[in-house]
Structure 1
Amino acid sequence: MNTVFNCLGALALLGLSSFANAFDLQQLSDQLAKPDVIHGHFIQEKHLRALPQPLVSKGTFVLAKNHGLLWLLKTPLQQDYRINAKGIARRDANGWQLLPGKSAGAEQNRLFLAVLQGDSSGLQRDFELSLSGDAQKWKLTLTPRSMLLKQVFNQINIDGGQLVNTIELLETQGDSTLMRMQDSTSAQPLSDAEQHDFAE
């Protein structure tokens, strides 16, 4: 399975007290939760200690409120994934097939979906959070608190404006993943095909 689903996740947005009129985590959570549908492209760079060059994968994504995330990998191979409340499904010749979900990776994927949707519920116990910037340009640093996540990540950095722009995962073994979300737009509704993919 694509490394995005092994690495991405473990991300949280939740409200913390802040200075009056300062941009705080609750405002960020509210901001990311506003769009009903987000379309965009992604470039993922997986930096492995054993390799001189990163592994690069590219594709498109569709994030729909109350439906989930379509993650459509285009290169180096073509593979479609769907993440929603039921778990992770991969498309094959027979349609969408739900993948086994009783793992740390599955929990991370659920949390990844939560951050993109601005859903802060139930995530506070996992991270120490530090937010800087304002609504147009912000950076959120997540430091794992739970033992499970500490075994995987040293730190997670998220940058964005109205939407998430980049996600950087620094892993305990020295590897890292950089995800760039490009050309993101909330102006387009779901197509008929996308509605079908979420409903199937």
Structure 2
Amino acid sequence: MNWLLRCISLLTILAASGPACAFDLNDLSEQLARPAVVQGDFIQEKHLRALPQPLISKGQFVLAKDTGLLWLLKSPLQQDYRINASGIARRDADGWHMLPGKSAGAEQNRLFFAVLQGDSSGLQRDFELSLQGDAQHWQLHLIPRSLLLKQVFNRIDIFGGEFVERIELLEAQGDSTVLRMPASRSATTLSDAQHHDFAQ
């Protein structure tokens, strides 16, 4: 979950001079927040300077509007996480258990939830934002403002169309993480199993 612990939410009001863009951050936020449910597969590549090949993780995710995010890691090991307004929970043999909520990693997990659902609150102070493209093909670049964030990474690049398709985290120490969600799809409701996971 290293990429998850490093990812910071996007989508805030872009303070820019000149004419308004044909496709701006408000449009992007509305687009990402529109579906009731978004789900699909993910592939994460962790590129470490000390290793010749990236570490690859695969799994599935389920994002339910105003409910939460299920992050279901399938390989190289199986581990399920749930992120919502209450915090982050991990599933073991006895069920779901909340993780400590005061850590920086926990806060960043909540912020990642905001990335996928298009939450535009509270981020303007943390990043300089640059959005290019249109509703079908857009790129959002986030440059950290604060010294603390600059110590973690150089920038975050997010690419997408109807949904977020790729997130690239370029870390200050030279490592990087690429998260790909190439075939996300929307749904109107959750399955019974998904309802059960969010209700626990």
**CA offset digits 1:149-181 (Å, max 9, x no partner):** 111110000000010000000001100000000
TM norm structure 2? 0.95
Structure 1 counterpart of 2:13, one-letter code: G
Query: Partner residue of 1:12?
Result: 10
Q: What does the per-residue CA deviation read over 1:75-132, in whole Å, with 9 as the maximum and x for residues that have no partner?
A: 0001100111111111001100111121221121111111111010111111100000
Go from structure 1 to structure 2 and tell me whether the alpha carbon gap of 1:47 and 1:36 turns closer, same or farther (over 3 Å shift). Answer: same
- Superposed, 1:15-164 pairs within 5 Å as 15-16=13-14, 17=16, 19-20=19-20, 22-164=22-164
8 Å CA contact 2:12, 2:122 repeated in 1: no
User: Residues 5 and 109 of structure 2 are in contact (CA less than 8 Å); yes or no, is this contact kept in structure 1?
Assistant: yes
Give the letter for the 1:45 counterpart: E
- Unaligned runs of 5+ residues in structure 1 are none
Q: How does 1:182-193 map to 2 (within 5 A)?
A: 182-187=182-187, 189-193=189-193
TM-score of the aligned structures, taking structure 1 as reference length? 0.95
SS at match of 1:182: coil
Counting aligned pairs with the same residue, the percent is: 71
Q: Quote how far apart the aligned CAs of 1:188 are.
A: 5.3
CA contact (8 A) 2:3 2:169 kept: no
Could you give the per-residue CA deviations for residues 27-75 of structure 1, whole angstroms, max 9, x where no partner exists?
1011101011001000000000000000000000000011110000000
Give the match's secondary structure for 2:44. Answer: strand
Aligned residues: 198
Q: Which runs of 5+ in 2 are unaligned?
A: none
Q: How does 1:161-180 map to 2 (within 5 A)?
A: 161-180=161-180
Letter in 1 for 2:95: G
